[in-house]
Amino acid sequence: MNDKIDEILELLYITDERGGSLAEAGIWPEARNLLNSMAADGLVEIGDDGPLAMTNAGRARAEQIIRLHRLAERLLEDVLELSPSVAEEGACQFEHCLSTDVADSICTLLGHPTTCPHGRPIPRGECCRREKRGVEPVVVPLSELESGKDARVLYIGTKHHDRLDRLTSMGVLPGAELRLHQRRPTFVIQLGETTLALDQSIAQDIFVRRKADRAKKAMGQ
């Protein structure tokens, strides 16, 4: 029952996001009963021929579900490197069983991503608002690491074969520890005794995990 309500809210949210009217969601009249009970709970407003709008409460709940779904997509696709179709399936299950707290820690781990792999916005959570007050994400693309910081390479997100090969042969591989010396005019990193200068566009593809002690220090501030 609850899952059904969630799915409908999700559908309404996406329809709304795309800029369509809620009537276009195509759930009227099949889901009439469900919508009526949702209206009774104060989640949607309905008219004679379909849903009119989501209430604030309904929107908040929808945002939460969407957020879970899209964070899960990010996690499964970027970190666990599952193929998009597998990730999508997993995400659909995740969205119903994750708590808000777990979502926030995933969000933090991923560096408060703003979009899902399909490029749609991820609604902000409590953790993202806190982040503005100085808590740093643990996993970031190299391009978002501050200069002078140490980090470990987690994965390389590029699909360019050549680029990948050149990076790996120079020692940029998962597990490699690096320090970012500077971000301008180009990125300069040091891995062991190798110093590499690289473009912003390459740095975006290298996802790193901050070194724990430094991340903690940053949180303490």
Residue 156 in the binding site for another protein (CB under 8 A): yes
CB of 119 to Zn ion, least distance (A): 8
Chain CA centroid to CA 94, Å: 13
Residue 81 in the binding site for another protein (CB under 8 A): yes
How far is residue 69's CA from residue 214's CA, in Å, rounded to a whole number? 30
C-beta closer to another protein: residue 97 or 197: 197
DSSP letter, residue 115: B
Residue 202 in the binding site for another protein (CB under 8 A): yes
Residue 146 in the binding site for another protein (CB under 8 A): no
Residue 160 in the binding site for another protein (CB under 8 A): yes
Residue 198 in the binding site for another protein (CB under 8 A): yes
Helix (H) or strand (E) run with residue 105 in it: helix 100-109
Residue 175 in the binding site for another protein (CB under 8 A): yes
Are 30 and 4 in contact, with CB atoms under 8 Å apart?
no
Residue 193 in the binding site for another protein (CB under 8 A): yes
Side chain identity at residue 7, one-letter code: E
Residue showing tokens 């990010």? 74
Helix (H) or strand (E) run with residue 161 in it: helix 161-169
C-beta closer to another protein: residue 33 or 169: 169
**What contacts 2, CB < 8 A, 6 or more positions away?**
none
Q: Which does 112 bind (CB under 5 to 8 A by kind): another protein, Zn ion, none?
A: Zn ion
Residue 29 in the binding site for another protein (CB under 8 A): no
C-beta closer to Zn ion: residue 51 or 125: 125
Residue 167 in the binding site for another protein (CB under 8 A): yes
DSSP letter, residue 52: E
DSSP letter, residue 144: G
Q: Which stretch binds another protein (CB under 8 A): 13-21, 26-34, 42-50, 167-175?
A: 167-175
How far is residue 18's CA from residue 16's CA, in Å, rounded to a whole number? 5
Positions that interact with another protein (CB under 8 A): 81-83, 148, 156, 159-171, 173-175, 179, 181-182, 184-186, 188, 190, 192-199, 201-202
